[in-house]
Structure formats: C-alpha cells, structure tokens
C-alpha cells in the first residue's frame, strides 16, 4: 500500500505536500475509497481517499501498529559524491535504516558546491530520503544536516568508526562485536580516492576507530550500503 508523510492533521483529515496530491491523482490515479497509509509524527495511519476529482481528502480510518525496532542511532558521514552516486547512497541508506546523514566536504571530494546552491541540494537530498522512506515503510525520514567538515562537526558520543585504507588487521566486525549496546554508531567513509592521511589521523585523534572492511575492493558508493547491511545483520537474531 502506498505510504505518504503528512505535514499536519485537521480533525480526521491529513494535509500532505502539494506534490503528494499530484502523485495521488495523476501518477497513482487513485479512486475515491481507495486506501493509503499516512505517517504523521512517526505514527502510521490507515486512510481512505475521498473527493479525488476535486481537492483530494485523506481521511483517517485507524492507527497502524508500528513494527520498527529500537536500535542505536545510525549516523553516516558521507563525503560529497557525484550526483548519481550521492542519490544512490541516500536512497539505499534510507532503505537500510540510516537516521542521520552528514554531507562532508573532504580534501579529495571532487564535487565543490557553490554556496548559493547548497540549500537547493539539501532540499533535493531530503526529497530522495522522503521518497525512499515512503517506499520502505519507515515512520521517520533520515535527517540530512548542513554540509560540514570533519573539524566543524559536533563531538559525537557513541561508537565511531572510520573505514580506513591503511588499517589491515582490525576489522569492522571486531569493532562492532565488542560493543553490545550503544546509543549511537557514527560511520565515516571515504570519497573517491579515499580519505587523506591527515583526515584519517584527525578522526582517530577524536575517537574514531580505524577499521578495514576486508580484502574486497568496492566502489565508493558500495561501501555505505555494505556497512549498513552488516549493521542490520548484527542486530538480527
């Protein structure tokens, strides 16, 4: 069943984004009486579509039980990548449960964003995450922060790991398995060309553990997907 995130609720009617109404009428071509799910403030509801020919009303029918597990907050420090790769990582990371994405300007990031284009970019990235959240039935949308550098980012509490190209012995598995319970996991991955030595040593200096992902050589956009997959796996019974 199609799921939408609502902006607000007035009595039994949910108010969606303008483009969601377009999606309902023109893309999905829903008819009166058809059902959709709507999420407001992390709570999913079963709703029914009314008056599709005029203004489209989304009426609450019942609340839906949440099935999401409670786990650590997953924060991904993601270097600016080329547009297609960036979009890909945002979509897949959302499917795989990321909570917060921090776009990072790194030394070797090929992409340099002009100041005036930053807001538009973040808006676009947020939209990709919203759509992926709808598709994967999440009740929250990952937060995309402003673009930071490693030096300008807050001092995260929790388990912090950086995917290293030089560390050969200490695997990400040894790092994850040693921690049985933590409130937050922060993951730093490299851009194309990797993190510089300076960046890596800055990160380890502020408490990040440098780990290897093993012998496989993966493309830059595959790494976050790999890590988020194993984070899900670690929490599986």
CB of 138: closest distance to a copy of itself in angstroms?
Answer: 8
| Nearest residue (CB) to a copy of itself, 40 versus 220 | 220
User: Which residues, 6+ apart, have CB-to-CB distance to 60 below 8 Å?
Assistant: 9, 12, 13, 14, 38, 45, 46, 47
* Of 126, 165, 204, 232, the one binding a copy of itself by CB under 8 A: 232
Q: Is 37 a binder of a copy of itself (CB under 8 A)?
A: no
Name which of 10 and 219 has its Cβ closer to a copy of itself.
Answer: 219
Span 64-123, contacts to a copy of itself by CB under 8 A: 67-69, 92, 95-97
Residue from 2, 145, 165, 171 that binds a copy of itself (CB under 8 A)?
171
Q: Provide the Cα torsion 115, 117, 122, 124; round to 10°.
A: -170
- Cβ atoms 228, 91 nearer than 8 A: no
Helix axis angle, 83-95 relative to 118-135, nearest 10°? 40
Could you say which DSSP state residue 230 is in?
H
Kindly determine how many residues on this chain lie close enough to bind a copy of itself according to the rule CB under 8 A: 29
Residue 219 touching a copy of itself (CB under 8 A): yes
Q: Does 42 bind a copy of itself (CB under 8 A)?
A: no
Burial of 102 (0-12, 13-18, 19+ CB in 10 A): buried
Q: Is 127 in the site for a copy of itself (CB under 8 A)?
A: no
Using CB under 8 A as the binding rule, whether residue 202 contacts a copy of itself is answered as no
Return the structure tokens found at 171: 């695997």
Q: What is the largest CA-CA distance in the chain?
A: 64
Residues that bind a copy of itself (CB under 8 A): 67-69, 92, 95-97, 135-137, 171-174, 214-219, 222, 225-226, 229-230, 232-233, 236-237
């Amino acid at each position: 069943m199609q799921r939408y995130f609502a902006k607000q609720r007035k009595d039994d009617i949910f108010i969606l984004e303008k483009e969601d109404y377009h999606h309902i009428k023109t893309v999905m071509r829903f008819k009166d009486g058809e059902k959709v799910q709507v999420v407001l403030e992390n709570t999913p509801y079963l709703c029914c579509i009314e008056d599709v020919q005029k203004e489209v009303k989304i009426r609450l029918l019942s609340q839906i039980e949440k099935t999401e597990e409670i786990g650590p907050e997953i924060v991904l420090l993601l270097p600016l990548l080329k547009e297609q790769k960036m979009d890909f990582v945002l979509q897949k990371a959302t499917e795989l449960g990321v909570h917060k994405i921090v776009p990072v300007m790194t030394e070797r990031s090929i992409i340099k964003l002009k100041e005036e284009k930053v807001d538009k970019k973040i808006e676009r990235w947020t939209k990709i995450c919203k759509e992926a959240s709808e598709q994967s039935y999440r009740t929250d949308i990952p937060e995309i922060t402003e673009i930071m550098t490693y030096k300008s980012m807050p001092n995260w509490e929790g388990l912090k790991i950086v995917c290293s190209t030089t560390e050969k012995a200490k695997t990400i598995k040894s790092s994850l398995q040693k921690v049985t319970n933590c409130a937050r996991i922060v993951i730093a991955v490299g851009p194309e060309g990797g993190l510089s030595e300076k960046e890596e040593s800055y990160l380890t200096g502020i408490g990040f553990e440098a780990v290897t992902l093993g012998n496989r050589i993966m493309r830059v956009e595959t790494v976050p997907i790999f890590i988020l997959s194993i984070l899900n796996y670690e929490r599986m019974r």
